Amino acid sequence: MRRKIIAVDGPAASGKGTLARRLAAHFDYAYLDTGALYRAVALNVIRKGCVPGDTSAAVEAAQNLDMAQLDAPEFARSLRTAQTGLAASIVAAEPEVRAAILQAQRQFGETPPDGKQGAILDGRDIGTTVCPNADAKLFITARAQVRAERRWKELVGEDKELTLANVLADIEARDARDAGRATAPMKQAEDAHLLDTSDLSIEEAFAAALALVNG
Ligand code: C5P
């Protein structure tokens, strides 16, 4: 039987990760945070002593990406920093990096692990490129100021120097790079439902997302 696929896209700190995880728990589907794959490529490039704009280092890191690495606690923590997010958006603009990890994402959707009956993938291009035939598509957004406040609250515990203004500037730079790149730019798929979470609590956003998925 064909497995169900739900695509959840949107900009940084829009709430898409939280909603995708909640939806996965609700339906008992497998969940893949595709942003973590680009973050892992970027982190491996940096740890090799290269800059994220080094195309050949980024392509090599993408071709050798080991998904198991994402579960190692120290690596997983380093994935979440603002610096890694920004570096991820630089490696993600490289078409060969995207091509190298496309198949693994599609395979996750088509044959989700642990015998699950469906998969939820969140990212920027799931509804448009990775799983264009997904059964349901959401594009989650929120005003940039609201997203910056959410992300700042998440990150300030780890990095006391971080200011809200810096986080907002990073988010705006990332939005521009992700929406402006030539290959698989961040974009709402024509058949995706738009959900703006700016003025919603997590519970309200989840209820709205669930109603859209259940159609
Ligand atoms: O979602 P997250 O903030 O973890 O994503 C980090 C970066 O990875 C994004 O800014 C984007 O450049 C890239 N990305 C992407 N396509 C995806 C998921 C993430 O280009 N499907």
Residue 159, pLDDT score: 86
Question: Bridge-partner residues for 7, per DSSP?
Answer: 121, 137
Domain residue limits at 18 = 4-214
Q: What is the mean pLDDT of each run of 10 residues along the chain (215 residues)?
A: 91 96 98 98 98 98 95 94 93 97 96 96 98 98 97 90 94 94 96 98 97 95
Q: How many domains does the chain have?
A: 1
HEC readout, 7-54: EEECCCCCCHHHHHHHHHHHHCCEEEEHHHHHHHHHHHHHHCCCCCCC
Strand pairing category for 193-196 and 136-141? parallel
Kindly report the CATH number assigned to the domain that includes residue 50.
Answer: 3.40.50.300
Nearest CA to ligand 1 atom 14: 35
Residue 158, pLDDT score: 84
Q: Is the CB of 101 under 6 A from ligand 1?
A: no
Pocket test for ligand 1, best of 33, 43, 89 (most atoms within 8 A of CB): 89
Nearest CA to ligand 1 atom 12: 89
Which pTM does this prediction carry?
0.96
Q: What pLDDT, in 10s, does the model give residues 45-79?
A: 999 999 999 999 999 999 999 999 999 999 999 99
Pocket test for ligand 1, best of 147, 178, 186 (most atoms within 8 A of CB): 178
Contact between 189 and 132 (Cβ < 8 Å): yes
Residue 171, pLDDT score: 94
